[in-house]
Structure 1
């Protein structure tokens, strides 16, 4: 039973956070961030690693947990837009107060702009951990039109029409190589990486979709046939809905959640393959991804943390992913690692011995050469492969 219950973590936490924030308003808007940090960071630190690999039968339940994400995202977006609306929208005030106990006027009177911002940051985490993460799972299911449509709508909340294309047909092919905008090179700063990966991923998806449609004589600008344009229009419809319900303030808050969720995705991209190298002609293997089996992260993110198996078998559903405990491991769970990544010097200090271990125990002879080049270029202190390069250069100089 525990293996079923653990994957209720996201909907339970999401609904709980939203109810607390909109019941109280004001300082209660901080509760979303506090709950995420306490539950996920503390949970990963205290709970033993989840290395369980049960064979589970009731697949409908695990799919239901994913499908629930879309109504949660719509509900989250509506709550903020309605609460910030200058007037009663379609007579919703009476319904919201009598059924849920949410008072729009009290929320507006008792909540400052920075408290709304704190609530929007929590919303951005839900957009990213829920929408983008679950959208990622569903858009890998190219065999299911239903799941592809649901996944693309979830990605639309973070204006990510490109992800369903670039991630599936670009990233999974190019990871660990310079051709992949979503692979962070050694020494990359997370803040510049987010922009590079965001823009690079969109350009790559545009090129992929343009090339696909050209085979059939269609334009990438054609909203009927172009997945890029349809995805962009889906996002535009969500922004329009937020504005029509709540006006400019609601639009601004929706943008914070949307851009924040997309930024969260790019920080996760930054972590998942940081510093790992691979030759383009070599097969993608479990050693080309950082893995973690931290329990809270695994439950909340529907086993996205078992990233090594995901890249070994991209079409595997999340409940079938194995722990791959001998794969390259992050020392912490996802949210803890995200917080570390926001402090670049600290992140590099943590990752240096881990990269050294990868070079020594996982890299092939050809990858060791690439690792030396990457380490020298990175300028990071403590990378043994860079030191080997320096020692070899000194030896060659003396020999000459």
Structure 2
């Protein structure tokens, strides 16, 4: 049963949310309830911890990506006739889905650089969360993860809002520099994938303006900003407080993982982050949750809510970081953490 569930959950969610936007009115509140409670409720009653999806299961990445574009189109079509209250609700719904399902799919697609159509579609979906630089930024993050040089790895004692304003510009600048290095020092070139993604971002903004005017553009920017906050909160929580010696091997202990909730399984195993970093070319269906990986025992929803309130976050996560230092960290990693304070 769970095999069928994880194949249909993301596509069904996108279709359902698209329908609530197109219908409008009271249907929006059903969409809002679904976005807030569906995955959290499922995690509360249905826990799994087993190997990744079997290779024989259908690859739903492209269908889900296309349905993410359909959702964006439904949002654009919804905007012109929406009342102010409806527009606020619809923007929150769209932003939440842009920052979760659409962004997870985007991340999988931009890892497939040898498949141009998939890579381009990944850029389009990254634009929904106002994150064009991640087209290259994921390479930067994968090479620097859990080190002080990584703008997308949060340090112990660093609040989310401080991290947000460090991560966003840091990842953008680092991504541009990485591309310039790849191109032999010539960053201002159309071969630069960051610039290509920025062009895609501008095109998406233009499409919302052409479809729904300034109201549509503003609504999309608000939805994209919410999506970006969700994406950055995910980055924040995925490596918070963890330490790696620069240049050393990336190991399973350098990422926090979801405790095995069904929502992670149904969303391309995104919560099983350690295996993704250690084996970054592994298809999502093969991602596993190793026994020796650090676990964040809290649901994705609770983790996100706590991240927005730094004192609450520190009270929840700092004890887990201290436990990680005792059970997982090497002597050199403990020394780095001690020097950082």
Look up the SS of the partner of 2:54 in the other structure.
coil
Q: Name the structure 1 match of 2:130.
A: 159
Partner of 2:309: 343
Aligned to 1:241: 207
Return the alpha-carbon distance in structure 1 between the equivalents of residues 173 and 269 of structure 2: 29
- Please name the residue that 1:197 is paired with: 167
After superposition, the Cα gap between the structure-2 partners of 1:78 and 1:159, relative to the gap in structure 1 and judged at 3 Å, is: same
For 1:14, the equivalent position in structure 2 comes to 14
- Structure 1 residues 11 and 166, CA gap change in structure 2 (3 angstroms): same
CA contact (8 A) 2:14 2:68 kept: no
Q: Distance in 1 between matches of 2:194 and 2:339?
A: 36
Aligned CA distance change for structure 1 residues 191 and 31 (closer, same or farther; 3 Å) = farther
- 1:22 to partner: Cα distance: 3.0
Residues 1:54 and 1:155: Cα distance change in structure 2 (over 3 Å)? closer
Q: Deviations over 1:151-178 (max 9, x none)?
A: 122212223221121212x111111111
CA root-mean-square deviation? 1.9
Distance 1:220 1:143, change over 3 A: same
Match of 1:133 in 2: 104
Shift of 1:17: 2.2
Q: TM-score, normalized by length of structure 2?
A: 0.94
Instruction: Give yes or no for contact 1:290–1:307 (8 Å, CA) kept in 2.
Output: yes
Correspondence for 2:78: 83
Cα 1:205–1:241 shift into 2, 3 Å: same
CA contact (8 A) 1:10 1:300 kept: yes
Aligned length: 341
The correspondence for 1:228, drawn from 194, 197, 214, is: 194
Decide whether the 8 Å contact of 1:141 with 1:147 is kept in 2.
Answer: yes
Residue 67, structure 1, aligned to residue 62, structure 2: yes
Q: Deviations over 1:41-83 (max 9, x none)?
A: 122222123324453314xx22xx2112333233222223223
1:310 to 254, 276, 279: 276
* Residue 179 (1) aligns with residue 149 (2): yes
1:235 and 1:38, CA in 2 relative to 1: closer, same or farther beyond 3 A? Answer: same
CA–CA distance in 1 between the matches of 2:129 and 2:37? 25
The 5 A counterparts of 1:1-400 are 2-25=2-25, 27-53=26-52, 55-58=54-57, 61-62=58-59, 65-85=60-80, 104=81, 108=82, 111=83, 113-168=84-139, 170-214=140-184, 219-223=186-190, 225-374=191-340, 376=341
Cα distance, 1:276 vs structure 2: 0.3
Quote the offset at 1:353 in angstroms: 1.8
Of the structure 1 ranges 281-290 and 14-23, higher mean CA displacement relative to structure 2 is found in 14-23
The equivalent of 1:393 in structure 2 is: none
Alpha-carbon distance in 2 for matches of 1:212, 1:281: 19
Q: Which runs of 5+ in 1 are unaligned?
A: 86-103, 377-400
SS across alignment from 1:244: helix
- Give the SS at the match of 1:68: helix
The alpha carbon displacement at 1:119 in A equals: 1.6
Which structure would you say has the larger Rg?
1
State which drifts further: 200-209 or 289-298: 289-298
Question: In 2, Cα distance between the equivalents of 1:137 and 1:54?
Answer: 15
